[in-house]
Amino acid sequence: MAINRKQLAQNIVLVVDSINVTSFSQYWFIKNGIFGEEDFKGSVFTPGLVLVASHDCQLTVLPNQLQLEIKSDNEDVALHCIENRMVKLIKCLANVRVIAIGLNYIWKITDNERTMPQISKSLFGNSGSRLMSFFDKEDTRYGAYFSQDIDSQTRLKLDIKPTLVKENGQNVDMMMYNFNFHCDVQEQQMEETLMMQVNKWQQFNRLASELVCL
């Protein structure tokens, strides 16, 4: 079987009660050692949105969340980015109420020898339930949602579904795996919890990679 697996994206999201977006200025980022002057080319600073696009990541600040999108799928490069961007950012958020943190990984699976109905049915269409007996046509596509505690702090939410996307001008069928490692954050232990979760990035990244291969 010509099964191809590829990681498409990885990011860390901090969900906040509310923040003053304008406080995240170019001067503020430089002062706190999160970005240098060379990192602001093409960046956006408005009252409702801050977007900093550096060579290794993209940081988006909205009134209700901060998102660090890691550009490289190289684990060492990604870890360096997290340590030099996200860890420093967290240490500067003492006056921000962070409600939750999510570590997210998006993967795709394609197969040059089988159709998407065949792929999705082999994964999720064999339960023998009455619902499956209805959804049993040649063009039926299957997906799945899973949710499970990974540890005492983290719940994994995995959404898998067939998707049609355009790549290089052509429609490509793929199975999309969206991993969300979610943790609610208590106010009294905010920085401690955030740092603990960020330090699990490599562990969760490898777990997602293993699950995609099952």
Per-residue pLDDT tens for 156-211? 999 999 998 888 888 888 999 999 999 999 999 999 999 999 999 999 999 999 99
Contact present, 160 and 176 (Cβ < 8 Å)? yes
CA distance 126 to 24: 51
Domain of residue 119: give its range.
3-212
Report how far apart, in Å, the C-alpha atoms of 91 and of each of 13, 83, 88, 96, 192 are.
Answer: 15, 11, 5, 11, 10
Instruction: For residue range 65-75, list pLDDT tens digits in order.
Output: 999 999 998 88
Which of 41-45, 121-125, 182-186 is least confident? 121-125
Q: What size, in residues, is the chain?
A: 214
Half-sphere exposure of 119 (CA within 13 A, CB side): 22
Report the number of distinct structural domains present in the chain.
1
Phi, then psi, of 177 in degrees rounded to 5: -110, 115
- Cα angle 53, 59, 60 (rounded to 5 degrees) comes to 110
Q: What is the pLDDT of residue 115?
A: 87
What pLDDT is recorded for position 1?
56
Question: Which own/partner pairs from 141-147 qualify as long-range (CB within 8 Å, at least 24 positions apart)?
Answer: 141/116, 141/117
pLDDT digits (tens, 9 = 90+) for 126-150: 777 788 889 989 899 999 999 999 9
In this predicted model, which residue has the larger pLDDT, 3 or 89? 89
Distant-in-sequence, close-in-space partners of 128: CB < 8 Å, separation ≥ 6: none
Q: Are strands 57-62 and 170-184 parallel, antiparallel or unpaired?
A: unpaired
pLDDT at 181: 98
pLDDT for 114 equals 87
